């Protein structure tokens, strides 16, 4: 029969393997879907956080709106909310400086030479024409002997051709006068004309002075009172026309030089003289508001006309986005498990948003109380200190943005606020690393308040020499630290209850021996209660060895077998002599059903007594999907076909290191207790075998425990269990020793 069973068993195992593979595949699919859903929820939380923080910061930094117009009297001081330039007056000053620069001229000496040459050539032509006319007259007189000069008519076309380049003409009457004018007069008036024109043009003759200078020269040369008033009026007329048609301007505006000079004059206007720094008063109360004030207020978004300071809002938006994105990136890279817990992410979002809202509101009332550390403390206690450290950095930077927009001492106040917030928050994170109970939280508040006060003093010494102000300002961070601690103690139970967060404080509470469920276990199943305490001590040593949560391990071990309360007498540690045959009348499958039900029964009891989810998970997972070995073996002896799943615990397998440690501690404690030889070598061999069996059975496939950690756990378990189950010396029978001693004394007396 046994041989037949051995032949059939592989087929059963194969079917069971296929079923398990199918179940694992379905389970993996569900797990992937759940992970995707959790990521989506976390992304939604991140978007909500960004929007809420951005709206809060924008509301905090939004400038006060004024409904004013040019010419109106200001009812209160109007203060610049950021650096701004009075563009209207600045542009007007630049324009005035530009216009104050006269045009720069340059003299064209080549033009002077051309004019002189032109006039000189003209008089030479006139002289030549006179000579030609005289020759023409003399020839005519020779040909017409007895005629008079008056009968002669000149051919003026040639003469006018000679002097035509001057733009003048000479009539026959004028030519007769010129012929009779002494050549010395012509040469003298020509020389004087050239001299006067040359003198004027050497100094530079501008276009706007051309007419006046021309008239002056003409008057000097040909006027009634001029130097040549005695010469014929015809010669003077010809000279006048020559001057008028020949004289040109040779002093012109240098456009490039003028523009450069005016540009230089513009640049001498210092923009700093028209700058209003953040916090400067634009208009004093009672002062008149000008158009330039209106334009500056519009640029800063201070007018109640629907205009927005887009630069401000875009800058704030990108700054907030950058800060929150860096924090989210840290969580994704270094705390990926948080992404699979949307509740924790939501709680983190709420704490950050509430902290920013508090800072924005309280800063307007008392800036010194804005550096609140309650969010940092709560994040450190409820989540992780490292997450709190990053969150504190983000909150500090955002607080700096709020401060920058709401103080007239922007740079000083901003720097001090950010530094105090960073230092105080960092101190709170380090203080929250240990087990946090109420008194420790209060002590943390005092310490971070003190750290903030000292930081405030040091920052004050940098920015001011007023010691009274420095020490007065240092009181606010101290008060803020105390307020943070009080609020943290008061609200911590609310956060624990609403978000189901398991904190060290909660763990201390549920491990109290007076906790109702533990009292029931101690009274109704004392053997199980004792076993749980031993497992807790053993598991704690393993948790310490690999850096797991020792408090969670101890609490989980205390409760891992509470399901045995449903039927305490079914378990050997609770059986009296009369109950030793409890399973004797049952089939192995029936007994196994009672035994393997205790994780499920325990979960129901834990739910009833409102134990945290982490403890309930340990109760359900501490046996994984292992089999009830004793009754499974008995079934194999009794029956040919045995379904392994009928003897397997329902699971699930351990999902955390803490549960894996408790699984091993539970198995190893019972196994080592039953060893006949409890030497260290045998204990280690047994522990290694149990660990190997769990690995081969795939019990650790769903938790992130490593082989190195398992080896360290095995070493700690060996040391602990060898110490508990060490070999004891055989004590002598004290009563027999007393009686023997009396006999010896009696014999000695008889002798």
Please give the full DSSP string across 361-395, using - where no structure is assigned. Answer: HHHHH-GGG----HHHHHHHHHT-HHHHHHHHHHH
Please tell me the distance from the alpha carbon of residue 660 to that of residue 671, in angstroms, as a whole number: 17
Highest mean pLDDT among 150-164, 592-606, 720-734: 592-606
Structure tokens at 723: 């110490």
Evaluate the omega torsion of the peptide bond into residue 703 and state whether it is cis, within 30 degrees of 0: no
| Burial of 606: CB neighbours in 10 Å, binned 0-12, 13-18, 19+ | buried
Structure tokens at 428: 């709170």
Vertex 547: Cα angle to 606 and 514 (nearest 5): 35
Domain residue extents for the chain: 2-61+309-501, 105-253, 533-724
**DSSP state at residue 251:** E
pLDDT for residue 468 is more than 80: no
| Residue reference for tokens 């003759």 | 205
Cα atoms in the 13 Å half-sphere on the side-chain side of 300 = 28
Percent of the chain with pLDDT over 70: 84
**DSSP state at residue 78:** E
Can you give the pLDDT at residue 409?
Answer: 44
pLDDT tens digits, 3-44: 343 434 444 444 445 555 665 566 667 778 888 888 899 999
Which of the residue ranges 311-325, 473-487, 655-669 would you say has the lowest mean pLDDT? Answer: 473-487
Judge contact between 39 and 339, C-beta under 8 A.
yes
Can you give the pLDDT at residue 440?
Answer: 74
pLDDT for residue 585 is more than 60: yes
pLDDT tens digits, 493-546: 888 878 877 877 788 889 998 999 999 999 999 999 999 999 999 999 999 999
Can you give the pLDDT at residue 221?
Answer: 84
Which of the residue ranges 63-77, 511-525, 533-547, 694-708 would you say has the lowest mean pLDDT? Answer: 63-77
pLDDT for residue 161 is more than 60: no
Under the banding of pLDDT at 50, 70 and 90, the label for residue 407 is very low
The residue with greater pLDDT, 627 or 481, is 627
Look at the alpha carbons of 699, 705, 708, 711 in this order and tell me if their dihedral is positive or negative. negative
Can you give the pLDDT at residue 45?
Answer: 92
Q: Residue 544: CB partners within 8 Å, gap ≥ 6?
A: 550, 716
pLDDT for residue 740 is more than 60: no
Collapse the DSSP code of 270 into the 3-class scheme (helix H, G, I; strand E, B; otherwise coil) and give the result.
coil
| Burial of 209: CB neighbours in 10 Å, binned 0-12, 13-18, 19+ | middle
pLDDT tens digits, 275-312: 888 778 888 888 888 888 888 887 777 777 766 667 77
The residue with greater pLDDT, 388 or 304, is 388
Vertex 303: Cα angle to 300 and 308 (nearest 5): 55
**DSSP state at residue 585:** T
Which of the residue ranges 84-88, 309-313, 380-384, 520-524 would you say has the lowest mean pLDDT? Answer: 309-313
Q: Are strands 281-283 and 78-79 parallel, antiparallel or unpaired?
A: antiparallel
Q: What is the mean pLDDT of the chain?
A: 81
Please tell me the distance from the alpha carbon of residue 372 to that of residue 355, in angstroms, as a whole number: 7
Can you give the pLDDT at residue 160?
Answer: 58
Three-class secondary structure assignment of 186-249: HHHHHHHHHHHHHHHHHHCCEHHHHHHHHHHHHHHHHCCCCCCCCCCHHHHHHHHHHHHHHCCC
Alpha-carbon distance values, 730 to 161, 680, 727, 733 (Å): 159, 20, 10, 9
Hey, how many other C-beta atoms are within 10 angstroms of the C-beta on 322? 12
Please tell me the distance from the alpha carbon of residue 597 to that of residue 137, in angstroms, as a whole number: 156
Look at the alpha carbons of 361, 362, 364, 370 in this order and tell me if their dihedral is positive or negative. negative
Can you give the pLDDT at residue 164?
Answer: 53
pLDDT for residue 179 is more than 90: no
Judge contact between 592 and 550, C-beta under 8 A.
no
Percent of the chain with pLDDT over 90: 21
pLDDT tens digits, 715-732: 999 998 875 554 443 434
Radius of gyration of the chain, Cα coordinates, nearest whole angstrom: 55
Hey, how many other C-beta atoms are within 10 angstroms of the C-beta on 481? 28
Q: Residue 582: CB partners within 8 Å, gap ≥ 6?
A: 569, 570, 575
* N-to-C CA span, the chain: 76
Which of the residue ranges 79-88, 310-319, 732-741 would you say has the lowest mean pLDDT? Answer: 732-741
Can you give the pLDDT at residue 716?
Answer: 92
Q: How many helices (H) and strands (E) does the chain have?
A: 29, 6
For the range 408-414, what are the long-range contacts, defined as Cβ-Cβ under 8 Å and sequence gap of 24 or more?
A: 408/79, 408/278, 408/279, 409/279, 410/278, 410/279, 412/463, 413/367
For the range 453-458, what are the long-range contacts, defined as Cβ-Cβ under 8 Å and sequence gap of 24 or more?
A: 453/477, 453/478, 455/419, 455/420, 455/423, 455/424, 456/368, 456/416, 456/420
The residue with greater pLDDT, 71 or 686, is 686
The residue with greater pLDDT, 626 or 452, is 626
Which of the residue ranges 303-317, 486-500, 589-603 would you say has the lowest mean pLDDT? Answer: 303-317
Name the CATH architecture for the domain at 533-724: Orthogonal Bundle (1.10)
Hey, how many other C-beta atoms are within 10 angstroms of the C-beta on 750? 5
Can you give the pLDDT at residue 218?
Answer: 85
Judge contact between 186 and 126, C-beta under 8 A.
yes
pLDDT for residue 660 is more than 50: yes
Can you give the pLDDT at residue 325?
Answer: 94
Collapse the DSSP code of 740 into the 3-class scheme (helix H, G, I; strand E, B; otherwise coil) and give the result.
helix
pLDDT tens digits, 316-363: 889 999 999 999 999 999 888 888 888 889 999 999 999 888 888 887
Under the banding of pLDDT at 50, 70 and 90, the label for residue 600 is very high
Q: Are strands 84-85 and 105-107 parallel, antiparallel or unpaired?
A: unpaired
| Residue reference for tokens 């071990």 | 557
Highest mean pLDDT among 160-164, 410-414, 735-739: 410-414
Tell me the average pLDDT across 441-465.
75
Under the banding of pLDDT at 50, 70 and 90, the label for residue 54 is very high
66, β-bridge pairs: 303
- How remote is the C-alpha of 646 from its chain's centroid? 57
Judge contact between 371 and 422, C-beta under 8 A.
no
Can you give the pLDDT at residue 416?
Answer: 75
pLDDT tens digits, 97-107: 888 888 888 88
Collapse the DSSP code of 167 into the 3-class scheme (helix H, G, I; strand E, B; otherwise coil) and give the result.
coil
Q: Strand ranges (DSSP E) for 91-210? A: 105-107
Can you give the pLDDT at residue 144?
Answer: 75
pTM over 0.75: no
pLDDT tens digits, 200-228: 888 888 888 888 888 888 888 887 777 78
The residue with greater pLDDT, 484 or 48, is 48
Tell me the average pLDDT across 160-183.
65
């Amino acid at each position: 029969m046994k041989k037949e069973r051995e032949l059939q068993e592989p087929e059963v195992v194969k079917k069971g393997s296929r079923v398990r593979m199918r179940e694992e595949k379905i389970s993996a699919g569900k797990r992937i879907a759940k992970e995707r859903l959790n990521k989506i929820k976390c992304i939604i939380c991140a978007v909500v956080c960004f929007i809420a923080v951005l709206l809060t910061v924008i509301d905090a930094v939004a400038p006060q709106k004024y409904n004013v117009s040019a010419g109106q009297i200001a009812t209160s001081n109007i203060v610049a909310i950021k650096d701004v330039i009075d563009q209207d007056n600045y542009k007007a000053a630049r324009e005035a400086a530009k216009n104050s620069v006269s045009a720069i001229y340059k003299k064209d000496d080549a033009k002077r030479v051309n004019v002189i040459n032109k006039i000189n050539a003209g008089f030479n032509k006139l002289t030549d024409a006179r000579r030609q006319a005289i020759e023409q007259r003399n020839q005519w007189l020779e040909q017409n002997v007895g005629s008079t000069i008056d009968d002669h008519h000149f051919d003026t076309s040639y003469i006018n051709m000679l002097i035509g380049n001057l733009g003048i003409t000479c009539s026959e009457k004028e030519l007769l006068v010129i012929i009779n004018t002494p050549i010395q007069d012509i040469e003298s008036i020509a020389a004087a004309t050239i001299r006067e024109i040359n003198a004027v043009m050497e100094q530079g003759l501008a276009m706007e002075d051309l007419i006046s200078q021309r008239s002056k020269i003409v008057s000097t040369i040909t006027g009634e009172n001029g130097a040549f008033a005695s010469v014929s009026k015809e010669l003077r007329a010809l000279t006048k026309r020559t001057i008028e048609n020949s004289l040109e301007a040779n002093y012109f505006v240098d456009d490039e030089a003028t523009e450069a000079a005016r540009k230089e004059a513009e640049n001498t206007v210092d923009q700093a003289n028209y700058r209003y720094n953040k916090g400067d008063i634009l208009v004093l109360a009672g002062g008149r508001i000008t158009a330039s004030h209106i334009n500056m207020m519009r640029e800063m978004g201070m007018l109640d006309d629907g205009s927005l300071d887009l630069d401000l809002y875009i800058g704030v938006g990108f700054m907030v986005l950058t800060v929150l994105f860096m924090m989210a990136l840290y969580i994704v890279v270094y705390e990926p498990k948080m992404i699979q817990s949307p509740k924790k992410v939501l709680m983190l979002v709420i704490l950050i948003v509430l902290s920013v809202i508090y800072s924005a509101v309280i800063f307007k009332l008392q800036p010194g109380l804005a550096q609140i550390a309650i969010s940092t403390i709560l994040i450190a206690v409820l989540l992780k200190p490292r997450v709190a450290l990053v969150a504190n950095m983000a909150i500090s930077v955002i607080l700096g943005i709020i401060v920058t927009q709401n103080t007239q001492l922007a740079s000083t106040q901003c720097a001090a606020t950010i530094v105090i917030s960073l230092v105080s928050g960092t101190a709170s994170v380090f203080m929250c690393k240990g087990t946090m109970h109420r008194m420790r939280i209060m002590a943390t508040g005092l310490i971070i308040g003190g750290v903030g006060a000292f930081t405030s003093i040091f920052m004050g010494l940098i920015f001011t020499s007023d010691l009274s102000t420095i020490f007065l300002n240092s009181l606010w961070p101290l008060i803020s630290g105390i307020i943070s601690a009080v609020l943290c103690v008061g609200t911590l139970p609310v956060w624990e209850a609403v978000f189901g967060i398991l904190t060290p404080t909660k763990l201390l509470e549920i491990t109290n021996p007076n906790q109702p469920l533990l009292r029931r276990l101690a009274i109704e199943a004392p053997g199980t209660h004792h076993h749980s305490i031993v497992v807790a001590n053993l598991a704690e040593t393993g948790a310490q060895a690999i850096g797991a949560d020792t408090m969670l391990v101890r609490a989980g071990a205390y409760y891992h077998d509470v399901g045995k309360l449903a039927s305490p007498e079914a378990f050997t540690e609770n059986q009296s002599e009369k109950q030793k045959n409890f399973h004797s009348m049952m089939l192995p499958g029936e007994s196994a059903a009672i035994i393997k039900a205790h994780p499920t029964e325990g979960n129901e009891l834990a739910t009833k007594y409102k134990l945290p989810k982490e403890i309930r998970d340990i109760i359900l997972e501490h046996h994984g999907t292992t089999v009830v070995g004793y009754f499974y073996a008995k079934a194999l002896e009794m029956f040919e076909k045995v379904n392994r799943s009928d003897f397997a615990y329902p699971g699930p397998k351990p999902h955390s290191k803490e549960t894996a440690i408790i699984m091993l501690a539970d198995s190893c404690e019972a196994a080592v207790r039953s060893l006949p030889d409890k030497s260290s070598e045998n204990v280690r061999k047994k522990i290694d075998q149990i660990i190997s069996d769990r690995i081969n059975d795939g019990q650790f496939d769903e938790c992130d425990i490593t082989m190195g950690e398992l080896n360290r756990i095995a070493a700690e378990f060996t040391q602990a269990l060898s110490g508990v189950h060490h070999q004891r010396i055989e004590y002598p029978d004290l009563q027999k020793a007393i009686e023997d001693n009396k006999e010896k004394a009696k014999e000695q007396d008889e002798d």
